[in-house]
Structure 1
Amino acid sequence: MKYEEIALTDNNEQHSFELWVEGKRSFIDYKRKGDTLYLLHTEVPKELEGKGIAAALVEKTLRHLEEHQLKLVPLCAYVQSYLKRHSEWNRLVEKKED
């Protein structure tokens, strides 16, 4: 199943990016400080796991961040593993100040 046609929702009230698939909510929780988003946790309903939804959700979130000139701090283990597999997105990762 392809998820390109499903719009990413930025739910400001719940501080999460959402993807609604088959009437169910998959999401990435975040915390925002200025122009940096801390991606905290990714969750897909059990019955939808293994269908590529989490990967689509992360990619759509990264596109959204880039379009809005935002940086990210990947605190979520799934987002970290996604960035290892798709290193081109590391350009969005907030650089640590020494």
Structure 2
Amino acid sequence: WMVRQLRKLGVKGVKYVVDTSRNGAKLPVDGDVINPTWARIGQKPRLRFDKAFDGTLWVKHPGESDGTVNGGPASGQWCDLLADRLLGDEKSQNGC
């Protein structure tokens, strides 16, 4: 679908990857985008080379903070709480 839409805009010959580092949740919550509480880790990174689709990757490491929202430290800092949340461990007592 994405490639078709790009072609309609005149963009041709492009390749793409999908960031799966935080897309494992079924229902995103509107507006909750910095260290999203709803996010879960998605498919592991993998090269596919299927037509225009080159594969999946993790843009950020699970547990790497987006900023000081939803329990996170400064952007780019590691946080056990965020990593546990992405893994679905809601009861984790780990902090950052």
Larger helix proportion of the pair: 1
Q: Which has the larger radius of gyration?
A: 2
Q: TM-score, normalised by structure 1?
A: 0.31
Q: TM-score, normalised by structure 2?
A: 0.32
